[in-house]
Chains A and B, each alone.
Chain A
């Protein structure tokens, strides 16, 4: 996983609530057996007409946001399915952070496994950042995971909370599986105990 420490970039405003995983990456693109290449179809049905041409007023099609690295969105971002294709598509497009008042559970977790930082902020802060983002490429927002702050283009800084373990893994690009495998002895002894308590499992 790519490390994440600090990022300054353009933020795309998406002031919609309940942006679901079917919007982020429609199912016809889930037929892949790879992780890469999904960025081309990120938000496909909102971004492209049936004939493949771009829908001009969709935010990521506007010149200012074509290279956006951050999304600012309404509540409950990422609701719906567990498909990790959603963060893969965001990442492949170049998005490294999403700021919203709330996220769906599974999506939130999936982001951390892929080097995307989901940031929960109170509504007034999201509104302020949304306004900032609306100013386009002139307004670059900074996300600092080490300091746990987001800084708007006017220099105003807002703190955010993040789970310490998730932060640690992300800042160091650590692979969970490797870490857990080091605990094999504990898993062995759990299994030994469980096989006497609940042998039918």
Chain B
């Protein structure tokens, strides 16, 4: 048999039907749903009298709109947000799908809840009306975002009409140096390929540095595959993956677990399988990075300086000029001289327990800079509970951070957590587009440890220097 990539294998196992022109009907194992991209899809089902074909494989949770302040149980949601969340409540009930309402401790960002509850397992196809569905690829599942029409298609048929993408391999060799994290890997890759570099591809991340990451770190890496333009990111499952899945509420148990394990162990890229594009980066070459512009590809090591538009060519020249104006930065200025007034730790990229641990380790016994507004928004209610148990919450509170309830929050600022025009935020989320965190707001993307460091000093900071001081 022909040598196949991990992507090839998962794809082959999910083809329901293939047309002569190569278009496939692909079976979907898990469909995750949130309140923003689903109401029109459910409305479509009602209008045509259709049902959800596989409600037992469909999971919904509100996350984008929900307030994260402690008073959210007593309302606190604006009218429009409430309508969307109410619509999801009703749709979940009417169509009989699994649901984690705002009042449930398991509620959180859909891409954190899925793995946490054992819905996401190796070898599955996972979709959601959300581009960061790529996160679930960390389990060796084929996971990608879809639009609302496709949400409706999956609800009605449990399939998607798809053409196969191309295979791309991103190998990170060696080990990461101290102070460098999964976030720095994934941002460095985007800096290398550009935001369109992955278009049409499914990326498989591999190499020693990826193997050495925890499941949390792997989710961070795959999460931002979409920022590189890729349809999905994948990492072959291994013992760490199996250990993470074992015992989760919706993971198989007993004999079913053994059968699953046997299958999961076949999920790797065969020796000699073909990749259409290969990128190799040495783990030792990766530095802690930050973004300076308004595209996730605007990445530089923290030791760098703000570039000038004239450093670029083609359409990027105008785009960079526009970015610099928007960001209020001058070419040549050191990145570590950029002053920060807001710090946001959270999102489906970096809102897991390990991220909170990394930030808390930096903040322990310290205070945030005067006038700084800093918040931690755990990725799920369970992450929040665990952080409280481990004493992390107290470290954040003592440092001067706000300690919030779970949700997307200031990652996209659909709820009241927003930047004001001109405010500058160090954020552990994934997008630095104009207006992403609030109209006129300025975003610098970075790792949780780097965000914590910036909260203390009041400017972008090289975490390695802070670590050196601590010794």
Contacts and interface: CB of A to CB of B under 8 A. Distances in A.
Interface of A: 15-18, 20, 22-23, 26-28, 30-35, 45, 50, 74-76, 79-84, 87, 102-106, 109-110, 113-114, 163-165, 176-177, 180-181, 183-184, 186-187, 190-191, 194, 197-201
Interface of B: 13, 16-17, 19, 21, 23, 25, 27, 29, 36-37, 39-40, 43-44, 48, 50, 53, 57, 64-65, 80-81, 83-84, 87, 121, 123-124, 129-131, 144-150, 152-153, 156-159, 161, 163, 195-196, 199-200, 229, 231, 251-252, 256-257, 259-260, 263, 295, 297, 314-316, 318-319, 322, 412-414, 421, 431, 433-436, 439
Nearest to B230: A105
A110 B196 contact: no
Given A50-B439, A84-B148, A180-B25, A104 B16 contact: no
Given A79-B229, A83-B36, A187-B157, A110 B21 contact: no
Contact of B65 (A22, A31, A105): A31
A14 to B, nearest CB: 11
B439 A45 contact: yes
B81 A105 contact: no
B137 to A, nearest CB: 15
A165 B23 contact: yes
Given A84-B37, A180-B25, 17 more contacts: A15-B318, A23-B434, A26-B439, A74-B319, A80-B433, A82-B147, A105-B200, A106-B144, A113-B149, A114-B149, A163-B23, A181-B50, A186-B17, A187-B53, A190-B16, A190-B27, A198-B13
Given A30-B36, A76-B195, A183-B16, A177 B152 contact: yes
Contacts of B434: 22-23, 45
B315 A104 contact: no
Given A75-B196, A80-B433, A200 B83 contact: no
A80 B431 contact: yes
A143 to B, nearest CB: 22
A18 B153 contact: no
B322 A16 contact: yes
Nearest to B148: A84
A26 B256 CA distance: 45
Top-9 shortest CB links A-B: A200-B252, A113-B149, A33-B39, A110-B147, A17-B315, A31-B80, A82-B145, A84-B147, A84-B148
Nearest to B53: A187
Given A33-B40, A187-B158, A28 B19 contact: no
Contact of A76 (B19, B196, B259): B196
A102 B256 contact: no
Contacts of B152: 177
Contacts of B129: 82, 84
Given A180-B153, A200-B121, A194 B81 contact: no
Contact of B150 (A81, A109, A181, A191): A109
A183 to B, nearest CB: 6
Nearest to B418: A28
B21 A164 contact: yes
7 contacts: A45-B435, A80-B131, A106-B131, A106-B144, A106-B147, A113-B150, A183-B16
Nearest to B194: A76
Contacts of B53: 187
Contacts of B260: 198, 200
A58 to B, nearest CB: 13
Nearest to B42: A33
A173 B245 CA distance: 44
A197 to B, nearest CB: 8
Contact of B161 (A176, A181, A200): A176
B131 A81 contact: yes
Contacts of A164: 21
Contacts of A74: 315, 319
A28 B319 contact: no
A194 B434 CA distance: 45
A187 B16 CA distance: 6
A175 B57 CA distance: 24
B152 to A, nearest CB: 6
Given A106-B145, A177-B157, A198-B263, A82 B199 contact: no
B147 A113 contact: yes
B215 to A, nearest CB: 19
Given A22-B433, A34-B40, A75 B17 contact: no
A113 B148 CA distance: 9
Contact of A199 (B80, B256, B412, B436): B256
Contacts of A198: 13, 123, 260, 263
A187 B159 CA distance: 8
B87 A176 contact: no
A103 B435 CA distance: 21
A31 B263 contact: no
A187 B150 CA distance: 17
Contacts of B252: 200
A126 to B, nearest CB: 10
Contact of A186 (B16, B259, B421): B16
Contacts of B43: 33-34
